[in-house]
Chains A and B, each alone.
Chain A
Amino acid sequence: MFLTQKKDMYTNITSNEYIKNWSKSNFSYNQKTITSKELQDLDRIRLSQGIFKMKSFFNEQLKNTKENAVVLLNHNNLMYSSLYLLKQDIINHKIVDDISTKNKIALRITEEILKIEKNSPLFPSNCCSHIQSVASILKWMLLTGSQDDGLSEEFDTILDITALLLTKIYKEKSVLPIIINMAFERNRRGANTHDLLWSFFEAKDPRSFILVANYLLSEHNKDIELAKKLLKFASDVNMTINTPPYYQYLHFISWLKENYFYLYFTGESFQQTNQPIPYVVVLEAKYLNKVVSIDTGKILESLSENDVNCIYTFRNLDQNTRIILTNFSHFLRHKDDQFWTHWLNSTISEQIMTAKNWLGVS
Chain B
Amino acid sequence: MIKVQGKTITAEQVINQIQFNTTEQKVIHILSLSNEVYEYDSLIQLKFELNLRSNTVNAAIELNSSEFAFRVFRKSFCNPIYWNRTDEGGFDLQSDVKPSDAIKDIYNNSSKYGTECATAMIIVFYKALLDLLPVTLFNQFYSNIYLMNWKSLDKDLGLYVVNNPTDFLPGDCMYFKNPEVDPVTPEWQGENVINLGDGKYYGHGIGINTADEIIEVLNQRRFNEATESAYLLSIAKRLSFKYISYHYKLYSSN
Contacts and interface: CB of A to CB of B under 8 A. Distances in A.
Interface string B20-32: 0000000000000
A194 B186 CA distance: 10
Nearest to B184: A161
Interface of B: 73-75, 86-89, 116-118, 149-153, 159, 161, 175, 177, 179-180, 183-184, 186, 189-190, 192, 223-229, 233, 237
Contact of B74 (A157, A267, A271, A274): A157
A30 interface: yes
A189 B87 contact: yes
A271 B118 contact: yes
Contact of A267 (B150, B161, B177): B177
B186 A101 contact: no
Given A156-B74, A194-B88, A198-B189, A273 B150 contact: yes
B184 A271 contact: no
B87 A272 contact: no
23 contacts: A30-B227, A32-B229, A105-B225, A153-B75, A160-B186, A161-B184, A165-B184, A169-B223, A189-B87, A190-B86, A191-B87, A192-B74, A194-B73, A194-B89, A194-B149, A195-B186, A271-B116, A272-B177, A273-B150, A273-B237, A274-B150, A274-B159, A275-B150
Contacts of B177: 267, 272
Contacts of B118: 270-272
A269 interface: yes
Contacts of B190: 269, 271-272
A27 to B, nearest CB: 12
B3 to A, nearest CB: 22
A153 B73 CA distance: 10
A161 B179 contact: no
A195 B74 CA distance: 10
Counting chain B CB atoms within 10 Å of each CB, which of A165, A169, A191, A272 scores highest? A272
Given A101-B225, A168-B183, A169-B223, 7 more contacts: A30-B228, A161-B184, A161-B186, A164-B183, A198-B186, A270-B149, A271-B116
Given A273-B150, A274-B150, A192 B87 contact: yes
B74 A153 contact: yes
3 tightest A-B contacts by CB? A274-B150, A164-B183, A192-B88
